Structure 1
């Protein structure tokens, strides 16, 4: 397939693996890139030295393009960005911050910059900041999310009709059929997170992967909007959050309840009771753990079969 996204990243298929915390190390990123998509290392759960190690290992594991996802609320952001530049990473996805802060510097160093947004307003701001493409993420997505709860089905046509740079759809996409639907709505490619959590190469704990596979409709909920909206699997910790709301807890009390390291505890260490289990609504459609290459292959097969079905209507 040849379109604006495959050309921008020099990849075979317009499938981007989300740079998810505690799931997206070099093994997953290189596997997706080797399969023809674009793999992303998730810097959000890595100290600078750990990120540097993953970048170097990814270079050895693939000769295909890969990138790094950087949440811009990261406390060591300057060091992270300097490592990315020094290691000559060619693609950076930024999120959770102002794209004007780092986009010029990254582009000066020959880096393709993509920014993740959850609204048309911020898509336009990112385009004005000079990014090369947008990830428009609907509120079905797992992890940290937009406050407006705009669905992917609504967000993609809003954004694609209003900006001129390529649009990557995210949120609720785990199949080739969903990929086709997003592209019919105006997306040039898709970013896939939850489906790749349930992959052999994801660095997340097997307990978490199995919980994703066993999830059914209604098992996730967007919560903690007063802090930073996050979609979680319902577990003991989620019930404690629900109880805190029922008791009228204020922001400081919610911060105390959340504490530090909840996502690591649940997603990386496998504590299914006390950890944050960040995953998207589409987990209800995920029924097995597969190699990343199989996920890419299956999505493209489903995509092509769906195209044929639509053509026959």
Structure 2
């Protein structure tokens, strides 16, 4: 991503600090471009200081509250890095801006993965731009084409963030079964099915056998879900159980289809698995068309 002119991203919320540091150092050794490290503030960002010491150029935060933003924005900027805060409403944008982050990420309900928003991005992005008073706004959620990026920019955003579309690239560490599924689907579901690891957190996924059985059973809560606790995948010495919020990765073996298949609403626009550089160039051309 970074070598091709984009801003890459790595989520480190559930990563041991020493592993996160190793990732940051590895990326820095391979590119002079920019990349971001993300922390979900529903959990304590234990690795924040060490990834900053390792030289992470950008840190972003999601799912936090007003007072958390104040503390962590100050810590990141004091370390000399840029900081972005994810918001999901105009009021949220206004509150976050009081702490002077370098940019905001406006996430719509169309996003894949854990979804903080309940509103389509087009409904609140213009309002966020209006209250931002020049602070850059990045649109996110269900974006998978240059045409959609162009629409986001016309609303006043300074850029767009794409997640699902880049899962389906050759460099992505997503499992091959997961990548193939992304090319063959056009429907997603906002659900609580895969909340093992983060109870009660809504997430957007592609429908699969696990979701079907859970919904057929009446969407019961843990521990009463169908085949609760069954091991679906092995990865080295680690086990992934049914309903866990773990996404399929390279090296996992087992019933990959039954895992949590995160995807945003733009999944229907994914038809291939190109190299990241090729995809960025394509998106740029489409945006300029």
Smaller-chain TM-score bracket: 0.7 to 0.9
Flag the 1:195–1:92 CA change in 2: closer, same or farther, 3 A. same
> When the two structures are superposed, what TM-score results if normalisation uses the length of structure 2?
0.84
Q: Which residue of 1 aligns with 2:31?
A: 62
SS in 2 for 1:125: helix
Deviations 1:197-248 (A, max 9, x none): 00111111111111111112xx21001298111001101121233235x26x
Q: Distance in 1 between matches of 2:122 and 2:172?
A: 27
Q: Which residue of 1 aligns with 2:95?
A: 125
2:61 corresponds to 1:94: yes
SS in 2 for 1:169: strand
Q: Which residue of 2 aligns with 1:28?
A: none
Task: Name the Cα RMSD after superposition.
Answer: 2.3
Q: Distance in 1 between matches of 2:125 and 2:117?
A: 16
Gaps of 5+ in 2: 194-198, 230-240
Contact 1:100–1:129 (8 Å) recurs in 2: yes
2:40 corresponds to 1:71: yes
2:192 corresponds to 1:224: yes
SS in 2 for 1:287: coil
Which of 130, 143, 152 aligns to 1:161? It is 130
2:244 corresponds to 1:275: no
- Number of paired residues? 266
Deviations 1:58-78 (A, max 9, x none): 011101222211112335x23
Q: Which residue of 1 aligns with 2:274?
A: 290
Which of 84, 93, 111 aligns to 2:51? It is 84
SS in 1 for 2:132: coil
Q: Distance in 2 between matches of 1:105 and 1:95?
A: 16
2:146 corresponds to 1:176: yes
Q: Give 1 or 2: higher helix fraction.
A: 1
Q: Distance in 2 between matches of 1:117 and 1:251?
A: 30
Gaps of 5+ in 1: 1-31, 306-313
2:27 corresponds to 1:43: no
Flag the 1:73–1:261 CA change in 2: closer, same or farther, 3 A. farther
Contact 2:191–2:203 (8 Å) recurs in 1: yes
User: Which stretches of structure 1, 4 residues or more, deviate above 6 A after TM superposition?
Assistant: 258-261
2:194 corresponds to 1:211: no
1:129 Cα deviation (Å)?
2.4
